[in-house]
């Protein structure tokens, strides 16, 4: 029974908020029973237990993370950490978005090739799969060596992480039309081209969007990982490296950066989801597959 | 009808493309410029383009170069200098060894000796740091006060050629690695030390040591204090190795006119460091302006610790201390970093000597270290 997406906005947001509140309670609860002492000007609470991961070093207080986001990124700077991270996230997102578009295009192209040529599929699919078993941290420095420490390398790394889910999903998607529909087209003597555009492509869209949602988050991971060896100073990757090296004197800054990465991933995912809703509206339950 | 929805999603993708396109024009700051050789700056004067490869990301360790750039010292020498930042994935001596690489490179001496063994022709043209900034730190309650106490302990060191001052000190005490003490490869942070996973940690006096002092001690709610730690200084132990120095390729120096460029570069750089000795606060500002995201308090600490590594320079800044060079070579040989001693032309002092001529107070005889307040989180 298809639910209309318009009516469903409030509930997920409410659910999310309740869950976030729950997470907060568990987080601070752990620190309350097993963390480091809680101090205010006048008051000290010594937690009775000792839970190793609840220390201020490994699990900073939520309000310290929020406080770090609101504080200036550097002494004397007008920019807060939140603004700095928002800028870095936007920069990383643009790299990821180019990689995502290239990767999606390559993925669709490869899938179209494989669906039409059994030979190509047999010859190339093993390489496509093999390509994904090479850890990106091993490959990233080589890409940077080949293309230089610049944005292009980062985009290539993001592309590399993006094309695979699209290829695999689109092979299934392009094969998914009802055989009777294909037969009907054949009886009309439709060309491969029009079978592709009129039957295969529309049928594959639910598969495509599922893959695109995976790729959207993967492309951000690729961009962040690539920014390290790529020597890109403006994105989230460098922020992670910096705040990681200063972790002991400011753990909340790395946590804040992780929050920024997560928000970026969710935002990109949501954007693809909106495109999906627009493209697949009227197809019923299939659009619910988030 | 269905078509139009497909097009709507296409429109969303188009939006992506438009947003993404900005990256290509806006994202060039990370890419080193490919310009080489002479170029016209547009200011009328003949300017020579040159690049300086930093050993690490911008921080006060390189304040003298930022200062020389901002104060216009390079420009006065006719050099249009581009400073190329390093980082965790940049191997400066490798970048500087490439034929089309930066003309000047900051690196540590033993690492360049190793690169020379692998065919690099980098030559030390100015030894900026006269002293090593490497420490080992242990908690005060550990009883570890010297390398002799490493026995049966977990001793943290950084790898990639950063470990030899520590391991050489241990072996001078007759301690054999992984027999008498456990060598633990440390991340470039102090987390393992704070968590007491290791007994001894390697720390640069101008960076990681300060990070501990900038961190909060959960037992007191205050910052960690210097009394909480025992510090082993490898300058005192006698296994210090030479660190930040300026290198250039012998093949590049041999080209007509490049020695003059190098001399001008050194003079400007020396003036930058003299400026930072006398105006450390300004240099902290230049460093944060150069794109360091480390806290300003941390940079102030670093600047204050970098100066004593340079000053005093008894023979003038940039001049090689032959004994320290020999010590660095000996330890490099003993540790197996290099197979044979480097030739005499692995360093030269003539360019630095020429650059020093006419510079005022280039020895810093009267230098006394300053004091800076430690700030929580290095802010």
Q: Which two structure tokens, joined as six digits, stand for B117?
A: 């063994």
Write the residue in A233, A244, A280 that is nearest to B189 by C-beta. Answer: A244
ipTM, 2 dp? 0.71
pLDDT band at residue B11, thresholds of 50, 70 and 90? low
Q: What angle do CA B79, B82, B85 make, to 5 degrees?
A: 145
With the CA atoms of B147, B152, B156 and B158 taken in that order, what torsion angle do they form, in degrees rounded to the nearest 10? 80
Which helix (DSSP H) or strand (DSSP E) does residue A14 occupy? helix A10-34
Interior/surface letters B250-281, b for 16+ CB within 10 angstroms, e for the rest: bebbeeeebbebbbbbbbbbbbbbbbbbeebe
Residue B8: CB atoms within 10 A of its CB come to 15
Q: Nearest-CA distance from A9 to chain B in Å?
A: 20
Q: Residue A18: is its pLDDT beyond 70?
A: yes
Q: In terms of CA atoms, which chain B residue is nearest residue A99?
A: B20
Write the residue in B19, B27, B293 that is nearest to A97 by C-beta. Answer: B19
The per-residue pLDDT for B290 is: 86
Three-state secondary-structure class, residue B362: coil
The per-residue pLDDT for A122 is: 93
- Residues of chain A positioned with their CB less than 8 A from the CB of B195: 57
Residue B125: CB atoms within 10 A of its CB come to 26
How, if at all, do strands B46-53 and B79-84 pair? parallel
- Per-residue pLDDT tens digits for B100-140: 999 999 999 999 999 999 999 999 999 999 999 999 999 99
User: Do A107 and A164 touch, CB atoms closer than 8 A?
Assistant: yes
Which of A140, B301, A70 lies closest to B292, judged by CA? B301
- Per-residue pLDDT tens digits for A52-70: 889 988 999 999 999 999 9
Q: Residue B7: is its pLDDT beyond 70?
A: no
Length of chain B: 379
Three-state secondary-structure class, residue B170: helix
Q: Residue B42: is its pLDDT beyond 60?
A: no
Whether a cis peptide bond, with omega within 30° of 0, leads into B312 is yes
pLDDT band at residue B35, thresholds of 50, 70 and 90? very low
Which helix (DSSP H) or strand (DSSP E) does residue B48 occupy? strand B46-53
Cβ–Cβ gap A57/B218 under 8 Å: yes
Q: Nearest-CA distance from A119 to chain B in Å?
A: 31
By the CB < 8 Å criterion, does B13 face chain A? yes
What is the spatial distance between Cα B182 and Cα B179, in angstroms, rounded to a whole number?
A: 7
Structural domains of chain B sorted by starting position, each given as residue range(s) with its CATH number in brackets: 38-130+242-378 (3.40.190.10), 134-237 (3.40.190.10)
The per-residue pLDDT for B17 is: 55
User: Do B203 and B209 touch, CB atoms closer than 8 A?
Assistant: yes
Three-state secondary-structure class, residue B372: coil
Alpha-carbon distances of A210 from A205, A276, A287, rounded to whole Å: 9, 9, 10
Interface of B with A in 331-370 (CB under 8 A): none
Percentage of residues of chain A with pLDDT beyond 70: 95
What is the spatial distance between Cα A92 and Cα A79, in angstroms, rounded to a whole number?
A: 18
Q: Residue A75: is its pLDDT beyond 80?
A: no
DSSP string, A205-241: HHHHHHHHHHHHHHHHHHHHHHHHHHT-TTSHHHHHH
The per-residue pLDDT for A153 is: 92
Cβ–Cβ gap B31/A74 under 8 Å: no
Interface of B with A in 17-76 (CB under 8 A): 17, 19-20, 22-24, 27-32, 57
Q: Is A176 left (phi over 0), alpha (psi -120 to 50) or beta?
A: alpha
User: Do B181 and A217 touch, CB atoms closer than 8 A?
Assistant: no
E strands, chain A, are 38-39, 44-45
- Residues of chain A positioned with their CB less than 8 A from the CB of B215: 57, 248-249
Q: Which two structure tokens, joined as six digits, stand for B371?
A: 């004091």
Q: Nearest-CA distance from A204 to chain B in Å?
A: 12
The per-residue pLDDT for B323 is: 95
Q: Residue B191: is its pLDDT beyond 80?
A: yes
Cβ–Cβ gap B12/A275 under 8 Å: yes
Cβ–Cβ gap B88/A241 under 8 Å: yes
Directed axis angle between helix A251-280 and helix A62-70, to 10°? 80
- Per-residue pLDDT tens digits for B315-370: 999 999 999 999 999 999 998 889 999 999 999 999 999 999 989 899 999 999 99
User: Do B80 and B74 touch, CB atoms closer than 8 A?
Assistant: yes
Separation of first and last alpha carbons in chain A: 16
- Residues of chain B positioned with their CB less than 8 A from the CB of A275: 8-9, 12-13
Write the residue in A74, A276, A281 that is nearest to B293 by C-beta. Answer: A74
What is the spatial distance between Cα A256 and Cα A246, in angstroms, rounded to a whole number?
A: 13
Write the residue in A76, A244, A249 that is nearest to B296 by C-beta. Answer: A76
Q: Residue B292: is its pLDDT beyond 90?
A: no
- Residues of chain A positioned with their CB less than 8 A from the CB of B23: 91, 94-95, 98, 151, 155
Percentage of residues of chain B with pLDDT beyond 70: 88
Best of A58, A202, A249 to disrupt the B interface by mutation (most B CBs within 10 Å)? A249
The whole model's pTM is what? Answer: 0.79
Q: Residue B278: is its pLDDT beyond 90?
A: yes
By the CB < 8 Å criterion, does B212 face chain A? yes
The per-residue pLDDT for A289 is: 44
Least confident of A211-225, B31-45, B154-168, B322-336: B31-45
Interface of B with A in 85-114 (CB under 8 A): 85, 87-90
Residue-averaged pLDDT of chain B: 88
Q: Which two structure tokens, joined as six digits, stand for B66?
A: 């930022």
pLDDT band at residue B29, thresholds of 50, 70 and 90? very low
Helix segments in chain B, DSSP class H: 2-26, 63-70, 73-76, 92-97, 109-117, 164-172, 191-194, 208-213, 234-237, 250-253, 258-278, 280-289, 296-310, 322-334, 350-356
Q: Residue A211: is its pLDDT beyond 70?
A: yes
- Per-residue pLDDT tens digits for A25-42: 999 999 999 989 998 888
pLDDT band at residue B295, thresholds of 50, 70 and 90? confident
Q: pLDDT higher for A216 or B379? A: A216
Cβ–Cβ gap B13/A242 under 8 Å: no
């Amino acid at each position: 029974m298809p639910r209309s997406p318009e009516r469903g906005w409030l509930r997920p947001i409410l659910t999310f908020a309740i869950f976030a509140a729950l997470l907060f309670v568990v987080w601070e609860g752990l620190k309350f029973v097993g963390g480091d002492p809680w101090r205010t000007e006048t008051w000290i609470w010594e937690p009775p237990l000792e839970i190793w991961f609840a220390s201020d070093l490994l699990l900073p207080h939520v309000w310290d993370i929020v406080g770090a986001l609101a504080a200036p990124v550097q002494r004397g700077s007008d920019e807060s950490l939140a603004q700095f991270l928002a800028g870095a996230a936007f920069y990383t997102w643009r790299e990821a978005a180019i990689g995502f578009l290239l990767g999606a295009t390559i993925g669709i192209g490869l899938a179209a090739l494989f669906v039409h040529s059994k030979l190509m599929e047999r010859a190339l699919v093993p390489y496509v799969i093999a390509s994904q078993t090479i850890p990106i941290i091993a490959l990233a420095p080589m890409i940077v060596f080949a293309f230089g420490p610049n944005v292009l390398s980062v985009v290539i790394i993001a592309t590399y992480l993006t094309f695979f889910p699209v290829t695999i999903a689109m092979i299934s998607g392009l094969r998914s039309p009802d055989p009777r529909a294909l037969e009907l087209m054949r009886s009309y003597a439709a060309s491969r081209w029009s079978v592709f555009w009129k039957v295969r492509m529309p049928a594959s869209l639910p598969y495509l969007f599922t893959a695109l949602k995976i790729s959207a988050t993967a492309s951000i991971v690729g961009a962040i990982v690539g920014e390290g060896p790529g020597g890109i100073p403006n994105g989230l990757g460098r922020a992670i490296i910096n705040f990681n090296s200063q972790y002991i004197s400011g753990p909340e800054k790395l946590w804040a950066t992780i929050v920024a990465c997560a928000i970026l991933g969710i935002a990109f995912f949501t954007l693809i989801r909106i495109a999906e809703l627009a493209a697949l509206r009227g197809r019923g339950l299939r659009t619910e597959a988030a | 009808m269905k078509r139009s929805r497909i097009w709507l999603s296409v429109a969303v993708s188009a939006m992506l493309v438009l947003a993404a396109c900005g990256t290509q024009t806006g994202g060039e700051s990370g890419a080193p410029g490919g310009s080489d050789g002479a170029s016209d700056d547009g200011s009328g004067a003949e300017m020579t383009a040159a690049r300086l490869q930093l050993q690490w990301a911008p921080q006060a360790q390189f304040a003298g170069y930022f200062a020389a750039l901002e104060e216009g010292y390079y420009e006065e020498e006719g050099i249009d200098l581009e400073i190329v930042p390093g980082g965790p994935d940049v191997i400066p001596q490798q970048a500087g060894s490439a034929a089309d690489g930066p003309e000047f490179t900051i690196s540590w001496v033993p690492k360049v000796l190793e690169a020379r063994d692998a065919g690099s022709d980098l030559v030390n043209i100015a030894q900026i740091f006269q002293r090593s900034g490497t420490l080992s730190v242990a908690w005060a309650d550990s009883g570890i006060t010297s390398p002799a106490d490493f026995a049966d302990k977990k001793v943290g060191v950084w790898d990639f050629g950063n470990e030899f001052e520590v391991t050489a000190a241990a072996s001078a005490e007759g301690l054999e690695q992984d027999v008498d003490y456990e060598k633990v490869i440390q991340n470039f942070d102090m987390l393992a030390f704070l968590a007491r996973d290791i007994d001894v940690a390697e720390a640069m006096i101008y960076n990681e040591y300060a990070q501990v002092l900038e961190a909060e001690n959960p037992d007191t709610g205050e910052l960690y204090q210097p009394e909480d730690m025992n510090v082993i200084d490898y300058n005192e132990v006698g296994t210090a190795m030479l660190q930040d120095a300026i290198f250039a390729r012998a093949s590049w120096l041999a080209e007509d006119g490049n020695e003059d460029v190098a001399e001008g570069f050194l003079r400007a750089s020396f003036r930058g460091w003299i400026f930072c000795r006398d105006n450390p606060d300004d240099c902290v500002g230049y460093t944060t302006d150069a794109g360091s995201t480390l806290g300003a308090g941390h940079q102030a600490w670093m600047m204050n610790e970098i100066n004593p590594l340079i000053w005093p320079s008894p023979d003038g800044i940039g001049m090689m201390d032959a004994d320290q060079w020999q010590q660095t070579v000996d330890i490099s040989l003993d540790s197996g970093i290099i197979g044979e001693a480097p030739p005499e032309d692995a360093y030269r002092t003539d360019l630095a000597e020429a650059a020093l001529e006419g510079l005022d107070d280039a020895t810093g005889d009267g230098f006394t270290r300053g004091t800076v307040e430690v700030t929580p989180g290095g802010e």
